[in-house]
Chains A and B, each alone.
Chain A
Amino acid sequence: MILRFSIALWLSPLLSTLALLAQQVPVQEFKLENGMKFLLVPRKGSPNIAAGWIAKVGAVNERPGITGISHLFEHMMFKGTQTIGTKNIEEDLKVNQQLDKVRGEIRKEEQVLIQRFREGKIADVKDPKVRTARHQQLIKEFDDLNKRQKDLMIKDEFDRVYTSGGASGMNAGTSEDFTIYFINVPSNKLELWYWMESDRLSNPVFREFYSERDVVHEERRMRTDSTPTGRFTEQFSALFWKSSPYGWPVVGWPSDLEAISREDAQAYFGVNYAPNNLTACLVGDFEPAQAKALAEKYFGRLQRGLHDPEPVRTAEVPQMGEQRMIAHADTNPEVRIRYHTVADGHADEPALMVLSTLLNDRTGRLYKSLILDQQVANQASSTHNGQKYEGYFELRGVAKPGKTPEEVEKALYKEIEKLQTELVAERELQKVKNQLAAANFRGLQSDFNLMVQLLISDSLRGWQIINTDPPRLQAVTQQDVQRVAKTHFPPEGRNVLVFYTKKKNAGGGQ
């Protein structure tokens, strides 16, 4: 697994194992006076504790100009504090201030260049030749300050303390709706976790801010820019969401990544990482009484925020007509069809998840119909993604050689139509419910998975949904499936991404 990664990619499979079955996970819950919530699940067996916390903030809470800040911020949380990561905190903070000042001046120079680029006067804002002497001088000052800061730092001390304490799997992830931080610690090191996490929440210092911004930009290049379909699916998403902030990528637009400043990060931290916006969770070998005492001692020192973060205001406007995006890429001919549906927790969500499961896997309808019977596709699947404020349903199919994406598209509509006009068979429905129920058990087995699921659940509608959502899935009826199929898939609600294989230049694969 890669470190400090954006988990947008594995969010939906994780959520689909969340919402299952009548197993009661015994959680001990308490809240500190500053509003921070704790969830404890003591489990004996191995001398290990899976520990984590979640901030109820993600890309959906951003605005143009700072897209990607949630994710960049997640990276910054590993850069140390007033105690961790520095030999001399006073000097360190001074250098940080100077860095910001110089960076601000550089930004002014860059804005002049960006304007000249806009007017077509220069071709590349990054070309050193277009810079003024002052600009070059500022860059030099900036580099010198960075070197100065390096001399004051204890490199990656945050990681070193944990690693030498036998902790492992330290990572964090950012999605549209939340940011999560987690780790495994040996059970005798529980207090170390409290020390480290409460320290970085009470006095973080965002060192190496600008080089970490470059790291995130490399992450964007790796995940999006340098993959055959990354930039296309990113733009399809931006097309799909018209007014909703779900339209920008978690990793952020490149122009924003270049411009986000440490001041932006500081302001963001003040509101969104206050204890009243956080939940922590421990699963594993520990004594709850001790865990509670340590929580009060360590996290009790965090100051409650002045106000709770405001929920997202901008809702998606209804779609007035079908939208299509035609893409030529180094990929097989494929079609993806997206419809707006409902947010996480909506009354229609369980039926939409059942509907999606009916279509999937080797006994699902898409495989039987599109792949085996009609032989129009070589791969086909669907997914429902109910996010905090909005949701969508997506169908996908890769055309079999000799068939077109349009033929696959037609066949997918046919399957939706069947769900709208005919009731699903009892046995077929039961099979899907069995699968969802078993998936629930599997998802709860690992301490680490359970910790992550409890935290994500809590950030959405409260951790209790880990116990209350599964029965809702089991209660879905044949009529429910038909009803949601009729409600959520109107022709004017279609958003279609068609991939054709890009023609290669003469000379073969190069």
Chain B
Amino acid sequence: MRAAGFSIAAVALVFTQGVYPQGAAIPRHPRDLKYQPLAYTPPKPADFRHKLSNGATAFLVEDHDFPLISVNVLVRTGDYLDPAGKVGLASLTGNQMRSGGTKSKPPAVFDEEVAFLAAQLSSAMADFNGSASLNCLSKDTDAGLALLVDMLRNPGFAEDRLKLAKNQIMQTMERRNDNAPDIEQREFRRLVRGDKHFSTLQSTKASVESITREDLAGFHRKYYYPANFVFAVSGDFKTPELLAKLEKALSGWPNGTEAVPPVPKPDYTPKPGLYVVDKKGVNQGRVRMGHLGVTFDNPDHIALNVMNGILGGSAFTSRITSRVRSDEGLAYQAASIFQHGTYYEGVFAAVFQSKSPSVAQAITIVNEEIAKLQNTKVTPEELTTEMNSLIDSFPRRFSTASLKAGQFANDLFNKQPDDYWIKYRDRVRAVTADEIQRVAKKYLGPDRMVILAVGELDAMAKGNPDKPQFSLDKLSGGRGLTKIPLPDPLTMVYPAN
């Protein structure tokens, strides 16, 4: 084993270290400290991009500090491709590719080989992509790549492992209504996306039971081939040699002929209002409140990032955290997120958890902060803090070889323009207080808010006797609240209210 020194990685980076003035007194306040400028140019994806002969793209970023190699693969497939009646098939295919051995090696043999190499090998499915990854000692690159490609190309889908996985899924399914965070995520998604979109369809006992080994093999055959892969490779290798190894490993693997279907957009307008899931046995209410957001190609998304940072995205320097948590002590977590969707609108949401009696007060505060952002300009100090934060922490996005390769692969997969990060900081710098007020008015909708609280309804409705001015009743504006019943966990049928 070689000793790992810490060498200088090849990054486009200029940093002049100034001479430290010895003996100078400690400045009274950190604003009096003087810093050398930090010049930084982000790496260009084109310098690391390679097109393989059978259509796959690979980003290769060398890093020789440690004798390790990491290979990540993004695959054009996803949960959205579950066939009707078989919700859960994509996800099962993703994990059974790793668990079910390969055509030539039963699971026990395959797993032993991986374990003896001390490699990490995985396969999984997400909404809009499949993924696989290998991490092993660089001396084992050939053996590791062979295992990865065998898994990707020739999964065995052993019956006994599939049976076990289905049994485990069913057992977990029974617990669907026990964990408050799970309920909160699931029901909020239904409230903003409706019941019909793939992203809210839940697997059921029947759908999982109906999934067969042939279904897995069929799903795999349809989407797993080189032209659908984007590789992100980082670590201890020489680029030309690794390219040759990848070419060899993928050779003779024919591409599919059917195009991967596009991601379906949700067709649903959320109904604003106050919704409650009455969850017994907890002393805290979990709240998620928001509405639809924007897509990534919306030119306002950078201004929205800055706006959301000030509202609730930047922890203690943001308004929601500051008021709900540090002013009032009403929550441990209190924040907001403004997601930009790649395929359709993302979601804006403020989230917190507070003891049942103070839930109404905390919701009121969040509403006030949203209105304030629309009605008054953010202060210059808030704007500078948020902008500096985004600009000065920027180099950290690319601080390791694996972050670089991963970012490039993701951007290509999501069709981000090559110069997105090159231009990013200038776009942040161009945001003004007027601009923030404009996007707050345009994209935040107090009258569109869907407010979901998961907790003990009685305790939340009773409120805090010391603060009678806050109540769920007032929040609902006299329209009353809508109770969401818990579904049967195995059929996902919701009882009538």
Interface assignment of A128: CB less than 8 Å from any CB of chain B: yes
| In the bound complex, CA of A221 to CA of B160 (Å) | 41
A215 at the interface (CB under 8 A from B): yes
**B96 within 8 Å of A (CB atoms):** no
- Contact call B38/A188, Cβ cutoff below 8 A: yes
The answer to whether the Cβ of A287 comes within 8 Å of any Cβ in the partner chain is yes
**Residue in chain A with minimal CB distance to B174:** A332
Which chain A residues numbered 62 to 88 have a C-beta less than 8 Å away from chain B? Answer: 78, 83-84
Say how far B293's CB is from chain A's closest CB, in angstroms: 22
| B28 CB within 8 Å of chain A | yes
Task: Give CA–CA (A446, B400) in the complex, Å.
Answer: 8
| A221:B283 contact, CB within 8 angstroms | yes
Q: Which B residues lie within 8 Å of A431 (CB)?
A: 112, 115-116, 118
B314 pairs with A163, CB closer than 8 A: yes
Knowing A48-B399, A401-B171, A438-B137 are in contact, say whether A225-B284 is a contact too (CB < 8 A).
Answer: yes
Contact for A164 among B326, B327, B389, CB less than 8 A:
B389
Query: Once the chains bind, are B385 and A188 in contact (CB under 8 Å)?
Result: no
Give the interface centre of B137, B282, B329 by most chain A CB atoms within 10 Å: B329
Q: Identify the stretch in A274-282, A290-298, A317-325, A456-464 within 8 Å (CB) of chain B at 4 or more residues.
A: A290-298
Cβ proximity bits B28-48 to A, threshold 8 Å, 1 near / 0 not? 111101011110100000000
**Residue A211 at the chain B interface, CB threshold 8 Å:** yes
Are A184 and B396 interface neighbours, CB within 8 A? yes
Instruction: Decide if B20 touches A83 in the complex (CB within 8 Å).
Output: no
Encode contact with B along A202-227: 1 for CB under 8 Å, 0 otherwise.
00000010111111111101100111
CB-based contact B388/A226 at 8 Å = no
The one of A167, A219, A228 in contact with B178, judged by C-beta atoms closer than 8 angstroms, is A228
Query: In the complex where A45-B9, A378-B171 touch, is A297 in contact with B26 (Cβ < 8 A)?
Result: yes
**How far is B8's CA from A368's CA once the two chains are assembled, in angstroms?**
45
- Assess whether A189 is in contact with B329, with CB atoms less than 8 Å apart: no
Q: Does A125 interact with chain B (Cβ within 8 Å)?
A: no
CA–CA, A158 and B465, complex, Å: 34
B308 contacts the other chain (CB 8 A): no
Interchain CA distance A190-B388 in the complex, whole Å:
16
| Bound form: Cα–Cα A186–B36 in Å | 11
Interface string of A376-391 (1 = CB under 8 A from B): 0011000000000000
CB of B422 within 8 A of chain A? no
- Known contacts A3-B316, A186-B392; decide if A293 and B20 are in contact (CB<8 Å): yes
Which residues of B have CB within 8 Å of A160? 316-317, 381, 385
Chain B, 134-172, contact with A by CB distance < 8 Å: what is the 0/1 string?
A: 011100000000000000000000001000100110110
B322 touching A509, Cβ below 8 Å: no
B368 CB within 8 Å of chain A: no
Q: Contacts of A368 on B, CB cut-off 8 Å?
A: 108
Which among B253-261, B472-480, B484-492 touches the partner chain? B484-492
Q: In the bound complex, do residue B284 and residue A46 qualify as a contact, i.e. CB atoms below 8 Å apart?
A: no
B345 within 8 A of A: no
Nearest-neighbour CB distance to chain B for A7, whole angstroms, equals 14
Residues of B close to A290: CB separation below 8 A: 17, 20
- If A221-B353, A508-B486 touch, whether A167 touches B37 (CB-CB below 8 Å) is no
Most buried by A among B33, B36, B108: B33
Distance of B23 from chain A, by nearest CB (Å): 8
Nearest-CB distance from A204 to chain B (Å)?
15
Distance in Å from the Cβ of B207 to the closest Cβ of chain A? 18
Give, as a whole number of angstroms, the nearest-CB distance from B468 to chain A.
Answer: 10
A214-B399 contact given A164-B385, A187-B15, A222-B353, CB 8 Å threshold: no
Does residue B22 face the partner (Cβ distance < 8 Å to A)?
yes
- Neighbouring A residues of B314 by C-beta, 8 Å: 163
Whole-angstrom distance from the CB of A278 to the nearest CB of chain B?
19
The reply on A362 being an interface residue by CB < 8 A is yes
Distance in angstroms between the alpha carbons of A184 and B160 in the assembled complex: 47
In the bound complex, CA of A426 to CA of B115 (Å): 15
CB 8 Å contact bits of B315-332 with A (1 = contact, 0 = none): 111000010011111111
Q: In the bound complex, do residue B66 and residue A186 qualify as a contact, i.e. CB atoms below 8 Å apart?
A: no
- B65 at the A interface (CB under 8 A): yes
Output the residue of B7, B327, B399 with the most chain A CB within 10 A: B399
Contact yes or no, B9 A44, CB < 8 A: yes
Chain B residues within an 8 Å CB radius of A365: none
User: Contact partner of A47 among B65, B168, B395, CB < 8 A?
Assistant: B395
The interface of chain A, by Cβ under 8 A from chain B, is: 2-3, 22-24, 26, 41-48, 78, 83-84, 127-128, 139, 150, 155-156, 158-161, 163-168, 184, 186-189, 191-192, 195-196, 208, 210-219, 221-222, 225-228, 285, 287, 290, 293-294, 297-298, 301, 330-332, 361-363, 368, 371-372, 378-379, 398, 400-401, 427, 430-431, 434-435, 437-439, 441-442, 444-447, 508-510
Other contacts beyond A167-B392, A221-B284: 20, CB < 8 A: A41-B6, A45-B11, A46-B11, A46-B13, A46-B395, A47-B395, A156-B316, A158-B316, A188-B36, A189-B392, A218-B332, A228-B178, A293-B22, A330-B175, A332-B171, A332-B174, A371-B164, A431-B115, A431-B118, A441-B68
Interface residues of B (CB under 8 A from A): 1, 3-4, 6-9, 11, 13, 15, 17, 20, 22, 26-31, 33, 35-38, 40, 65-68, 99, 108, 111-112, 114-119, 135-137, 160, 164, 167-168, 170-171, 174-175, 177-180, 278, 280-284, 286, 314-317, 322, 325-333, 353-355, 381, 384-386, 388-389, 391-393, 395-396, 398-400, 465-466, 485-489, 495
